[in-house]
Structure formats: C-alpha cells, structure tokens
Structure 1
Amino acid sequence: MNLQKRLWRAEPSFRLLAKLIRINWLYVLLICALAGVGYGALYSAGGGSSHPFAGPQAMRFGFGLIMMTVVALLSPRVLKILSVPIYLAAIALLTLVLRMGHVGKGAERWINLGGIQFQPSEFAKIALVLALSTWFCRLDPKKMGNPLRLVPPALMVLLPVGLVLKEPNLGTSVIIGVIGATMFFAAGMRLWQIALLAVPLPFLGKFVYAHLHDYQKARIETFMHPEQDPLGAGYNIIQSKIALGSGGMWGEGYLHGSQGQLNFLPEKQTDFIFTMIGEEWGYAGAIAVIGLLGLMIVGGMMIAMLCRNQFCRLLAFGITIDLFMYCAVNLSMVMGVIPVGGVPLPLISYGGSAMLTMMFGFGLLLSAWVHRNERDRPREDDAG
C-alpha cells in the first residue's frame, strides 16, 4: 500500500498531509513558470526595475499560491456548500460596482475594498463555474432534455452577463456567456437544444451592437480599418503589430525593445504585455509562451477527463475553459484578429483582480484533481 493510501486511512489529522501529497505539483510548476515569465516581462515594462509592476505582482502571486493551496485541500462537499454564497457574493459585488464603482476608460469596473481596487467581473467567472458545477452534478443527465430544468442555470448565466454588460464590459460579458454555454454542453445538453439557443444569436448581436457605447463601436470599426485613424482609435493595434513584427525570429533583446522601452506601445504592462514579449524575445519566445499556456490548458482538460465524479469533472472543465478564453481573447486582440478589449493574459499581465481570481480558480482545479477518485453521491433528482 502506497504512502498516500496509508495516510488517508490513518487518523484524520494525517489526511491533510495526504491531500498535500496528492496535489498535482507538476501543474503547480507550470503555474510558477508562467508567473516567472510574467515577472520578467513586467520587470522590462518597468524599465528594468521591479517597481512599479513586477514587485507588487510577485507579492500578489505569493499570496495567491497560499490561497491556491488552501482551496486545493477543500473537499467537493465543502465547495458545493460554499458555491451558493460565493455566487451570491459575486452578484452583489457586480450590483455594487454599478452603484459606486470606480470609472476607468469610460466604464465602471472596479470597486474599492479596504483600499484595494477589485474587479468583480473577474471573480464572477469563477463563481459561475462553481455554481453551475454544483447545479449540474445534482441533476440527473436523463432530465437534461427537460427545458424547465435548464431555466435556473440559464438565469445563473444571464444575470452576471447582463450586469457586466451594463458596466459596460463587452469582452468579459462575452467570455462569461461562452463559459456558461460550454458548461451546459459538458453537462450533457442535447445538440438540438444548443442549436435552438443559437438561432436568436444574430438578432441578439444586432440588438447589442445598437446599444453599445460610442467608444465600443469605435473599437469594432477600428478593428476593421485601423489605418483610417493611426494616431487616434487605431493607434493601439497599429503599434502592437509594429512591435510584434520588429521582434523577428529571436527578438530585439531583453530590455531592448524599441516600441516598449520608448513608450510607443500602449498598456504594455496589461493588455499588450504579449506584444512586448514578442518584440524582445521574438517569434521563438512568443511561441514558447504560447506553448506554456497550451500545456496548462491541455493539463486542465486532462484533469477534467480523469475525474470520476461529475462535480470535479465540470469544475475542472469550467476553470480550463476560463483559462482558454483569457488566452484566446488576449492573444487574438494584440494580433489584430479581434477588436481590442480589456482582457489580460493570465499570470503575465499586471493586475491584482485577474491574478488572485485566477489563482483561486487554479485552486479549484487542483481540488478537482485531489478528489478526482471520489464517487458521485446519489443525486437529489434520483431520490424517491
């Protein structure tokens, strides 16, 4: 009998040690490696100094590691109990930000909690994954064909989407909607139901576009024709493409990127951090970073597939989809594939809200791995 099983069957006080051993430390190593890349990029963004970006980010990551480990040790039973209050707290924070949020770049997205600026929309994505995982694990898959059974989880998705859209934050609201839709599919939603839900999307898109703010419409128009306003709305994406192209195969050298170091590159520490990496480390460095992100996404999907209970499977899947959406949207944005939006690159871009909520999400993912062999308990729908 191996050490993990012996500790697990021993006194309860030893179970904590057994869970620590069970944590997927290889995945933790990937997380640390990506955070290391972020520290190096932010050090360069600060002009070769840990102030003002790299140092604070490293402190947040250290705190996030502790939080991630604690969350990884929580059992599915505890997480299910906490899912409802966590989701309600996220909705309350999203409502609060509309009433007393901090305005930045034309939107109310931040609230001040004890002197710390916090972006509730980032937390809402993780809260939604946790809440949907709890709901679907208690629902008999055979009853997924009943539309009435899908109304509560649909409302759980639409509520944060609507609140985030009202901030306004179009990019994050779309990501929340995609996460919710993929969770429905993973839970066993029928293809005909998915097709039925997709029918009104073109009309909904037209309605949403008609109610967008002027700056949001400008982003979409700039995406189509950035050269029409090279010093105004098109400046960001044009400078991003110049920086990526100037890096070549091997880059201009660490701390020697012309666009980044001479401050031509906008938001180089947040939304456009990958552009700075491409300029200084070149095509090879950019591919290496994408490869590292890809390993984390594949690793998350492997964890989801190896879970033997529905709750852990859905939880791991949802967190991995969140990570994938972060990466896909940010990378597509800086390459000019989609309109520019305020979506950071996980563990690399500067920002406390995204860092801490992502670390909380990784804690949930690792908890799914630790408890992957636990069997599902009888569903509420099966009782009686």
Structure 2
Amino acid sequence: MNRRNTVVDPAGGPAPSGRPRRLTARMKLTLTYALFVVVAGAFSLVMVYLAMRFVPYYPLADVNPQAAAIATRPDILQALAKASGIVLLLLALIGLVAGWLIAGRVLRPLQDITRAARRAAHGSLDHRIGLTGPRDEFTELSDTFDDMLTRLQRSFDAQQRFAANASHELRTPLAVSRTMLDVAVADPEGQDYRRLVSRLRETNQRGIDITDALLQLSALDHTPPAMEPLDLADTARGAVDTVREEARTRNIALVADTRPAPVTGNDVLLRQLTLNLLHNAVRHNLPTGGSLSLTTGPDPARPGRALLTVSNTGPPLSDTVDRLTEPFLRGSGRLAEQDSTRRGHGLGLAIVASIVRAHHADLALTPNPGGGLTVRVSLPGAA
C-alpha cells in the first residue's frame, strides 16, 4: 500500500511526496552542463590525437649517440592519451561546479515563483513576485503569475462581498417579517391585519425576487443559453413598451431609436438584459425632469457587430462604475431606497454582466459628465 509522506520543500512549506523521487531541475542542468563540457573537451582531444596520429611521420636520427633518446610518435601519443584523461577529469569537475552555480542562478526566479505559488496555495494572495530585469521567459511567467494572483484576489474579494451581501439581503426580509409577527403577537387587538398581511406579502415577495435573481445568476454562469438569429431592435422595442409607463409616472422622458441590429443570441435573456438596463436607468434617474434614451443599430466602431446603448440622466457617479456590475452594489449606495417602487435588490447590472458573458459580448459603463450613466453592449452580429 502506498503511503503519502510530507517533506519540506526547498522553497519553503510542506510539499507532497507522493510522486517518485527524481533528480531536481538544478541537478539535471548541472549534469547537462558538465556532460557538454566533457563531450566538447573529448571531441577536441580526439581531433588532436587523430591529427598527431595521421600526420606524415618522419623518423628522426640522433647524431649524438650519447644524447637522450628522442621521443617517437608512439611515445607522444601515449603521453597525449594520459594527459587527455587528466584533462577530461578536470573538465568534468569544472563542469559540475560551474554548472551547479549557473543552474542555481538561472533557476532562482523559478524558486521565487514556487514560493509565491505555495503561499497562494495556503490562501495568501497579496504576495507578488515582481521580477525585474529584461524581458525573458521567467519575467513573462512572473508577470503572468502576478496577474493571475491579482485576478484571483479580486475574484475572492468579490465572492466574499457577495456572500456577505447575499446573507444580509436574504436575512433582511426574514428579520422584517419576524419583527412584524412579534409585534402582532404582542398586541393582537391593536393590529390592522389587512395592512399586516399586505406588508408581509411585500416583504416575502422581495425575498423571492432576490432568490430568483441569485438562481438566475448561477444558471447563467454554468449553463450556456440556446442561441438563434434575431433582431435586437425587436427585443428592445418590447422592453421599452414594458418600461414606458413607469418612466411616465416618474416624469422621465423616454426616447427610443431602434434601428435594425441582427444578432445571434437568446431572445429571453436579451430582453431581460434590456429590461434591467432600462429599469436601472429609470430608478437611478433625477427625481423630476430626467431623461432616458435607448438606441440599437450596427456598431460604428466594430463592423459586423450590433450595439445597444442605454443612457440616462441622474446624480454624478463618483465611484468606479466598473464595480456597479458586482452583486448587491447599488449606484446610490449600499442601502435600498425607502420607496418600495424605486427599491432594487442590487443584482440588475450583475445579471446584465452575466448575460453579456454568455453571449460573448462586451459591456462598457461610462459616467456622463453631467451625471447619470451610459451603458453600451456590443454583441456579435448574426452569422
């Protein structure tokens, strides 16, 4: 039976040892460098040996019989062979030492990346590698890893905010309902039960709306919608007709310019996207005398795509508008409107962003100089 032990990684922290042991990358590079040096040296010595062996040989005669004997070519070749062995041994030692040092220097950025990855695996996402120096494979890997950590940290922070806000939003209707019921139990004779039932129904409906929106968000992120060719202008006109009465009661001038915009998409989801944008534009407008415009048509900046634009007047937006697509973040702040007809659950633009991702479209939110917001959705045109 295999047993999984735990060892200490050189980069710091425990490392699983379930895999079979093998040479480290530094040792492999060291042996490679040493082998290359030895092979190169051996090749050079062999060339010298062959040159000495096959060059023309002219025997030398000693004119002085009492002088020391002159070395012959066999003697020279034998001495060269012995010297070659010593040289190859020295080259192997030099290759091992130099290869070990060079490999350590080359792999040092990889060790920094390993340490950062291990810290990230233990939940620390605020650490960045930040390799400096010229652009190479390691700096590209480091920059990519740092960018991944930034995205992960942003995603985890958004998830934490989502969990906290969702808990708060779902708890609020339940707490309100319990308070009204406790008051009714404490003073049953002094209650207007018709009004109590109406308020309980309104509070319960709000909880249902939040739950439905959360389910819709989850479904959009995991289930690809069915696509078909359609005209975005027709979808937009239907959404405008739905919102027109609410805009009239709020004294908001609604102008629609729906030119043909053929796209490939899901009609139900695109209608929901348009409705959410229109409701958001109506409910976050000026108290009186506001305006709202919707346009559809070809995207002038990107041929072959369709563009949906919704723009409204309203209070100036000081915060980063890109965060408005986060769940439960309202343009006017964290608290809901006191007027139940203006109250939203903070999921409208989050659902819009999910529908945009499902259609492989682009979403751009731009604050207007005089206040309000302009939302542009660029969708792929019909194939």
Give the TM bin, normalised by the shorter chain.
under 0.3
Structure ranking higher in helix proportion: 1
More relative contact order, 1 or 2 (CA 8 Å, 6+ apart): 1
Under a length normalisation based on structure 2, what TM-score does the superposition of the two structures give?
A: 0.28
Under a length normalisation based on structure 1, what TM-score does the superposition of the two structures give?
A: 0.28
Structure ranking higher in strand proportion: 2
**Looking at CA atoms only, which structure, 1 or 2, has the larger radius of gyration?**
2
